[in-house]
Structure 1
Amino acid sequence: MKRRSRHEDDAAGSTVDAAAHVPVLLAEVLEALAPKASGRYLDGTFGAGGYARAILDAAPDVTLLALDRDPTAIAGGADLVAAMAGRLTLAQARFGELAEEAERFGMVPLDGVVLDIGVSSMQIDQAQRGFSFRFDGPLDMRMSGAGQSAADLVNEAEEGLLADIFYHYGEERRSRAVARAIVEARRKAPLTTTKQLADLVASIVWAEPGGPHAATRVFQALRIAVNDELGELVSALHAAEAVLAPGGRLVVVTFHSLEDRIVKQFLAERSGRAPAGSRHAPVVDVARPTFSLVSRGPVAPSEAEMRINPRARSAKLRAAERNAAPAREPEPDLVALAGIPEPQTRRRPRA
Structure 2
Amino acid sequence: MEKIKVAVIGATGAVGQVFMWMLADHPWFELTYITASAARVNQTYGESVHWLLPFEMPHAIRSRTILEFNADAMKKEGVKIVFSALPANVAAEAEPLLRDMGFFIFSNASAMRYHNNVPILIPETNLDTLRLIEQQGYPEKGFVVTNANCVTTGLAMAVAPLRKFGIKELSVCTYQSVSGAGYPGLSSFDITDNCIPYIGGEEEKIEKEIKKILSFDPIVDAYSVRVPVMFGHLEAVWLTLEQDVSIDDVIKTWDEFREVPDLPSTPARPVLYDAANTFPQPKYAFWGTPNGMEVYTGRMKKRGNKIGFMLLVNNLVKGSAGGSIQNAEAFVKMYGLR
TM-score normalized by the length of structure 1: 0.28
* Structure (1 or 2) with the greater helix fraction: 1
Question: If each structure's strand is expressed as a fraction of its own residues, which one has the higher value?
Answer: 2
